[in-house]
Amino acid sequence: MDDKDIIARRVALELRDGQLVNLGIGLPTQVAHHLPPGVNVFFQSENGLIGMLPLPEEGFAWADLTDAGGRPVGAGPGACAIDSAMSFGLIRGGHLDVTVLGGLQVDEKGQLANWLVPGVMVPGMGGAMDLVTGARRVIVAMTHAAKGASKIVRRCTMPLTSVRRVDLIVTELAVIEPTDEGLVLRETAPGVTVEQVLHATAARLHVPATVGTMRG
């Protein structure tokens, strides 16, 4: 199991039957493949679909049924097509239960930066600012470090996506919960010690008396 699988499996355990869930492009998309038995959710694609499913077969690809990355997808029973105003009304209006997004940095306030690397990459925020601001629960699914540098930092140096505190950070090493008191280490991955997580993390982590082992 590679790092991305570890993260996707753990995030999938956060989803509850019947929820409306938006998965970001990239790593978060893989969460869909790891839903526990009996947990059926509706995936929203912000380009205008509720009830998105993977394309059942390559030959069914159709230009009018795509995900937010422009790739062909399928749709399941109960699916609905909506316009962009409705789609973002759902997101901003608090009707979206969970959003899972990738991250460039998360800091001790639980604030996320994930849309711009100044001078390097200027993709635009797309729907990320609305998702992080409006979803009822925001889960950041990302690798713990990039190019050897911790992505969990004391203060974001990259531009914020929202000032809203995210609800959970899941990496291949740990599950971390931002709280009023700061970042709390909730779980470590199997075979990973608390010390290893602390060593790999640039932010201060609170370590409670009991730290669980990451399931997945």
Partner 1 sequence: MKPAQAADIAERIPDGATLMIGGFIGAGTPQRLVDELVRRGRRELTVIANDTARPGIGIGKLIDARLVRRLVTSHIGTNPETQRQMIAGELQVELVPQGTLVERIRCGGFGLGGVLTPTGVGTLAAQGKRMIEIDGSAFLLELPLKADFALINARRADYLGNLEYALTSRNFNPVMAMAATTVIAEVDDVVPVGVIPPDAVMTPHVLVHYLVCKERSDG
| Interaction of residue 82 with partner 1, rule CB under 8 A | yes
Provide, rounded to whole angstroms, the least separation between the CB of residue 187 and partner 1: 30
Which of 28, 127 has the CB closer to partner 1? 127
The site for partner 1, by CB under 8 A, has a size of: 42
CB-based contact 58:33 (threshold 8 Å)? no
Provide, rounded to whole angstroms, the least separation between the CB of residue 143 and partner 1: 19
CA angle 180, 184, 187 (to 5 degrees): 150
Find all residues with CB under 8 Å of 180, minimum gap 6, and list them: none
| Interaction of residue 78 with partner 1, rule CB under 8 A | no
Q: From 208, 162, 161, 160, select the one nearest 182 (Cα to Cα).
A: 208
Q: Candidates 14, 97, 130, 172: give the one binding partner 1 (CB under 8 A).
A: 130
| Interaction of residue 35 with partner 1, rule CB under 8 A | no
| Interaction of residue 117 with partner 1, rule CB under 8 A | no
Active site members: 46
Which of 37, 124 has the CB closer to partner 1? 124
Site mask, partner 1, residues 155-194, x = CB under 8 A? ----xxxxx-------------------------------
Q: Candidates 54, 76, 126, 182: give the one binding partner 1 (CB under 8 A).
A: 126
| Interaction of residue 58 with partner 1, rule CB under 8 A | no
| Interaction of residue 56 with partner 1, rule CB under 8 A | no
b/e per residue 130-158 (b: at least 16 CB within 10 A): bbbebbebbbbbbbbbeeeebbbbeebeb
| Interaction of residue 145 with partner 1, rule CB under 8 A | no
| Interaction of residue 74 with partner 1, rule CB under 8 A | no
Q: What does the binding site for partner 1 look like in residue numbers (CB under 8 A)?
A: 45-49, 62-70, 75, 81-85, 88-89, 91-92, 116, 121-130, 133-134, 159-163
